[in-house]
Amino acid sequence: MESAVRSSDISSDRVARLGLICWRKPWLVIAGWTIVCLAAALAIPQMSDRLLSGSGKIEGSVSQRVDSQLVSEFEVSEGQSLVLVYHSQDLVGRAAAADEIAERVDETLAQLETIDRVIPATDIVEDSGDGSTQALIINFRLDNSLATEQQVPLVRAKIDRLFSDVASSMSHLEWAITGRAALTYDINIFSARDSADAELRAIPLTSTVLLLTFGTILSAILPIVLAIAARTAAFASILVIAGEWEVSNLAQSITTMISLALGIDYALFIYHRYRRELGNDAADRDHKSAKIAREAAMLKAMANSGKVVLYSGTVVAIGMGGLLLTPLMQTRSIGLGGLCAVIFSVASALTLLPALLSLIAPNVLDWPRMLRIRMPPQAGTRWTSWGQIVVKRPLTAIFSSLCIMALLAAPAMQTVFGFPEDDFLPEELESARGLTMLEDLGAKGLVSPVFIIVSDASGRPVISLERTEALSQFIAKIGTDPRVSEVLSPSLTPGTRYTPFGMPSADQMTNDAKDKILLRVVPSTKTDLAELRQLADEIPYWLDDRSLFVEVGGQAQYFNDFDARMKDGYAAIVGIVLGATGMLLLVLFRAPVAALKAMLLNLLSVGAGYGMVVFVFQLGYGATLFGLEEPTELVPTSVPIVIFAVLFGLSMDYEIFLISRMRESFLRHGDNALSIVEGLAATGSVITGAALIMAVVFGAFAFSGIVILQMTGLGLATAVIVDAVIIRSLLGPALMTLAGGWNWWPLKVDGSKIQSQV
């Protein structure tokens, strides 16, 4: 019998051969995975230092050009400052006490070579009222934001020691270090902790689902072990890549999310098929025949479900790869993290799972038997009955399912794109507390200034007698705008100089060639991000002198550029993902109608998931369940494309698994309706269990502290459940019933020939 297994058609399958090698060399495979995981585990603590927050530079954009000129032309770097803000009622009416604290801060931070100067912000912000809240700007002698981020813990340590001493003589003293670099640093640290917390929330729930699915503890633990191994190896690969390229901290979260979901699902698919092929009596055979039967069962499982996992992983990888085409570090990093997660999830299912199964006898996997949930002899009867109902009433099934899908997707039509305010940052972040204190001071604009560069393309000096009036009117219009608190500019009057904070003289507001000048706009504390973005759009049109060119930079303009680039890339990403996926499905199914139907149904799942995101987060229905006091009112432009890219591949898993089993049945007897019923009966329970596991994992991230992760988690969890319960169990089979033999066209149906081939 052993020779028969080796010489069979199944063993000639490449995936089955890979499984056979791992089955027969288990300790070698396990040792390899152990070495990789141990090395990765030692390096994982470095992730928060290696990964970046934000979205990175947008090459060729207006904001990027302004950032470059700030450094090269004006020796000013937007990100190289922090803001120390502190509050105490004892400061009311005591300006001398505030001055003394500022001097002590300056003396304390002078010990750090990277510090340039510490400057009070009181001269450029709105009146703080009673003086109980004060702010200091800490400037660095650094030329990049990453270096500034690395200084944040050092500055905080010194400030904490100083203010702990000050607090002994001042009641209820509060303080915080904030600013863009501090926000980035805090979000990096929080993201790493948040991913670990989400994993801790997900694993107990997924363990429960697996325990209910298999009925034994060891069978439930096995897929989780594979998922954790895949996640750990994926982290290692991201760390290596982050050593050469910029990678966002979102890569860590998305890697955890996808590794747990796919790692468990893929192991579940193969293990479920292995147990089914093995049969319940395998453990009762003598040792030799049982060993041969287990190997044969593994070969069949790998040749069928293993191949499906390989194709499914490839489809998911295509979706993730689509995100690599975006020009933004944030979305590229999500694609990178997802791609690494997919690769190692597939690898663990196809190599580590066979190795572990070869060492674990079925009777061991069934331990402890007293916990085992015995399924009735006709466990598939319910799915068979359900399939027969759908086949008999396809029009009713189609109408009802489309109504549900339309209801779920409808909120997406009300989408308003934008970036939620800093109010949605986790409250436990010190930088977020600092922003709140700055808002009380009327100085929140200090962390999001608008930079304006006025230049003359011909090389003539920008400041001249004939241009004084136009420039004065331009600056005055900006300064009188209600969205603006202050405009810092070089003097337009000959013989005078103006010294803004952080700049030694007005010379730094004109470049050496005198053909460019720099204006810095401090927004009003009442100005929200949407208004600031609108201001950045309007400013270039306010200068009447058309011989001068105006470019706007800063955070608001960056978000404008971000949205424009994301929207420009939508069509290309969707087109490439759909085209590549369609080609792969044609190769797998060899049936154009089945492939087209699969892609269209996936789009419905994406619409349902995204509609739920808009319904909850933008419109606010149920937002409090996810820890939000109010709706975001906006959805970042990256969320729809991320949900599409991630979900399009993930939900295709179930379609490939289902259609592959239907095709197996169809090749046996050539009966379309019967193949639909048999496919549902064979896969319904495992698809439902897998979807529930995915939903649990994604749902754990819906309770994250980072809004964009919450949106992604909720969208994916909703879509996966809808996909498994409505799309694959109701709408898809109903459409296939109506399509009849066209499902498998151009396959020629001849029962006798098909049967002989099988």
Q: What are 204-216's pLDDT values in tens digits?
A: 888 888 887 777 7
Regarding whether 230 and 132 lie in a shared domain, the answer is no
- The answer, yes or no, to whether the previous bond of 523 is cis (omega within 30 of 0) is no
Regarding whether 483 and 350 lie in a shared domain, the answer is no
Regarding whether 278 and 337 lie in a shared domain, the answer is yes
Q: Distance of CA 294 to CAs 9, 167, 276, 299, Å?
A: 17, 71, 11, 9
Spatial contact of 103 and 136, defined as CB atoms under 8 Å apart: no
Summarize the confidence of residues 686-715 as an average pLDDT: 88
Q: Which of 546, 531, 542 is nearest to 477 (CA)?
A: 542
Q: What are 384-414's pLDDT values in tens digits?
A: 999 999 999 999 999 999 999 999 999 999 9
Is 472 within a domain? yes
What pLDDT score does 307 carry? Answer: 87
Taking the alpha carbons at both ends of the chain, their separation in whole angstroms is 20
Regarding whether 451 and 535 lie in a shared domain, the answer is yes
**Picking from 150-154, 329-333, 377-381, which range would have the lowest pLDDT averaged per residue?**
377-381
Spatial contact of 248 and 50, defined as CB atoms under 8 Å apart: no
Is 744 within a domain? no
Regarding whether 330 and 235 lie in a shared domain, the answer is yes
Summarize the confidence of residues 510-517 as an average pLDDT: 83
Measured distance CA(710)–CA(191) in Å, rounded: 12
Residue 231, domain CATH: 1.20.1640.10
**Picking from 228-242, 337-351, 452-466, 742-756, which range would have the lowest pLDDT averaged per residue?**
742-756
pLDDT at 129 over 70: no
Q: Distance of CA 336 to CAs 45, 168, 245, Å?
A: 19, 50, 11
pLDDT at 595 over 70: yes
Q: What are 142-191's pLDDT values in tens digits?
A: 766 667 778 899 999 999 999 999 888 888 899 999 988 888 788 777 87
Bridge partners of 248, per DSSP, are 52
* Structural domain boundaries enclosing 154: 71-184
- Final residue of a structural domain among 515, 543, 559: 559
Is 441 within a domain? yes
741 versus 306: the higher-pLDDT residue is 306
Measured distance CA(468)–CA(493) in Å, rounded: 8
Is 102 within a domain? yes
Regarding whether 271 and 227 lie in a shared domain, the answer is yes
pLDDT at 584 over 90: no
**What's the mean pLDDT when you consider all of the chain?**
83
What pLDDT score does 755 carry? Answer: 35
Q: Which of 339, 322, 163, 305 is nearest to 237 (CA)?
A: 339
List, in order, residues 6 or more apart from 575 with CB less than 8 Å away. Answer: none
User: In the chain, pLDDT over 70 holds for what percent of residues?
Assistant: 88
Q: What are 58-101's pLDDT values in tens digits?
A: 788 898 888 888 878 887 655 568 899 999 888 887 778 888 99
**Amino acid at site 624:** T
pLDDT at 223 over 80: yes
Regarding whether 10 and 134 lie in a shared domain, the answer is no
Regarding whether 303 and 162 lie in a shared domain, the answer is no
Residue 133, domain CATH: 3.30.70.1320
Residue 526, domain CATH: 3.30.70.1440
Question: What region does 93 belong to: left with phi over 0, alpha with psi -120 to 50, or beta?
Answer: left
Specify the number of domains making up the chain: 3
List, in order, residues 6 or more apart from 410 with CB less than 8 Å away. Answer: 611
Give the containing element (helix H, strand E) for 257: helix 250-278
Residue 248: which pLDDT band, with cuts at 50, 70 and 90? confident
Regarding whether 28 and 83 lie in a shared domain, the answer is no
- Final residue of a structural domain among 511, 538, 559: 559
Please count the other Cβ atoms lying within 10 Å of the Cβ belonging to residue 436.
17
Measured distance CA(707)–CA(636) in Å, rounded: 10
What pLDDT score does 80 carry? Answer: 66
Is 351 within a domain? yes
Q: What are 439-488's pLDDT values in tens digits?
A: 777 777 777 788 999 998 787 888 887 888 888 899 999 999 999 888 87
Regarding whether 281 and 332 lie in a shared domain, the answer is yes
Integer-rounded Cα Rg, in Å, for the chain is 31
pLDDT at 368 over 70: no
Is 627 within a domain? no
Q: Which of 356, 349, 272 is nearest to 311 (CA)?
A: 349
Residue 7: which pLDDT band, with cuts at 50, 70 and 90? very low
Residue 512: which pLDDT band, with cuts at 50, 70 and 90? confident
What pLDDT score does 132 carry? Answer: 85
Is 690 within a domain? no
- Final residue of a structural domain among 319, 338, 372: 372
Bridge partners of 80, per DSSP, are none
User: Is residue 177 classed as helix, strand or coil in its secondary structure?
Assistant: strand
Regarding whether 222 and 100 lie in a shared domain, the answer is no
Give the containing element (helix H, strand E) for 444: none
- The answer, yes or no, to whether the previous bond of 746 is cis (omega within 30 of 0) is yes
Regarding whether 366 and 240 lie in a shared domain, the answer is yes
What pLDDT score does 286 carry? Answer: 52
pLDDT at 499 over 80: no
What pLDDT score does 111 carry? Answer: 87
What pLDDT score does 494 carry? Answer: 41
Measured distance CA(622)–CA(730) in Å, rounded: 28
Spatial contact of 63 and 532, defined as CB atoms under 8 Å apart: no
Q: Classify burial at 407, counting beta carbons within 10 Å of its beta carbon; exposed 0-12, middle 13-18, buried 19 or more.
A: exposed
What pLDDT score does 545 carry? Answer: 87
Is 132 within a domain? yes
pLDDT at 753 over 60: no
